[in-house]
Every structure is written in C-alpha cells, then in structure tokens.
Amino acid sequence: MKKGKAKKRRFYIQKHKGRNLHYDFRLEIGGILKSWAIPKGPSLNPADKRLAMLVPDHPLEYGPFEGVIPAGSYGAGPVMLWDYGEYEFIPEGRSKKEPPPSTPEQAFKQGALKFLLKGKKIKGRWGLIHMKGRGNAWLLVKDRDEYADREIDFVSKYPDSAKSGRSLEEIFEEDGDVNPEYAGM
Ligand code: MN
C-alpha cells in the first residue's frame, strides 16, 4: 500500500434485537464484512473490555441494512443501523515484540486488530483482541485518545439510528413486513 494514502474501508454497527439485544460490529476486511456480536455494545471507557463474539462473515451489501428480519427466520426482530462510516487500519500487533501486521487480513489472522473509526457517533482508536484459547471470544477495547470517556454511558446516550434517527421500536412498527430478502442474516 502507498504510504500517506490510507485505504478507505467501511464499518457498520447494527443494533439488533433478536433473541437478545446486541450490537453487530462489522469491519470490511478482504471484500467481506468480518462480524462480531457485542452484547453490551461499545464503551468509550478504556478500562471496559466488551465481549465480542466472532460470528459468520456477511456480504458488504448487508452492512447498511436497517429493517426487520421476519418471524421464523434466524435473528428475527428489528435491526437498526446504529452507526457507520470509514475506518483506517492501524498496523500494530498484539505486542511490540511481534512483527506488526501489514494488512487487516493479517491482523485478523494474528488475533489483534487496531483501527481508527470515523463514524457519526463512534470515533477514535479501538482494538479488537482475540482471547486465545477461548473459541470465538474477542474483546473490543477503546484506546486512550481524545475520544475516550470514562463517564458517559455511550450506547444509552445515543440509542437511535445514525441512518434514520429511529428507535428500535419505530423500526419494528414501520418496517415489520418488508425486507424479507435479508432473512437468515
Ligand atoms: Mn445480530
């Protein structure tokens, strides 16, 4: 990659009330969306380590989806586009001892992703770290920077859609019978 011109990659965070409420965090890596389900959502407090379960890849086209997964399908319930934007990959490894990854694909394989988010709500430097020996369990952690905040409850302060301004309840009521093509995601 050419220096000084970071490649633009997309990310999406969908607030999804399936069986349980969670946040689906999706990063564009290698032409698909690597995806993690985060029960509590992101925290701006660097001391919080939020459990992020790696779930199946999704196609890029699914990222901006907001609507309702119909009853009887996996994940049935409302999906909100809670936040979205571009991110920059930060080529840093899990520790200073290891050689730094040169691509997000490589960082993913090494189990430590660092990135700079440029969302409507979520900004700054973040890390996703695989808990070795713990299967699909990763942790989402805010890096210490000017966007870190130890006081606010981030997801409670900004509950609504970055795309439409709607709440999950409004999405459920208004979009209940559309978008069946997304069944199963
Ligand atoms: Mn989900």
pLDDT of residue 3: 52
pLDDT of residue 184: 44
Listed as ranges, residues in the chain with pLDDT below 50 are 1-2, 183-185
pLDDT of residue 176: 84
Query: How close is the Cα of 19 to the center of ligand 1, in Å?
Result: 9
pLDDT of residue 181: 54
Query: How close is the Cα of 22 to the center of ligand 1, in Å?
Result: 7
Query: How close is the Cα of 168 to the center of ligand 1, in Å?
Result: 13
Selection from 83, 51, 85, 89 nearest residue 165 by Cα: 83
Query: How close is the Cα of 163 to the center of ligand 1, in Å?
Result: 17
What Å distances lie between residue 70 and 10, 21, 49, 172, CA to CA? 26, 16, 32, 10
pLDDT of residue 137: 98
3-state class (DSSP) for residue 108 = helix
pLDDT of residue 97: 83
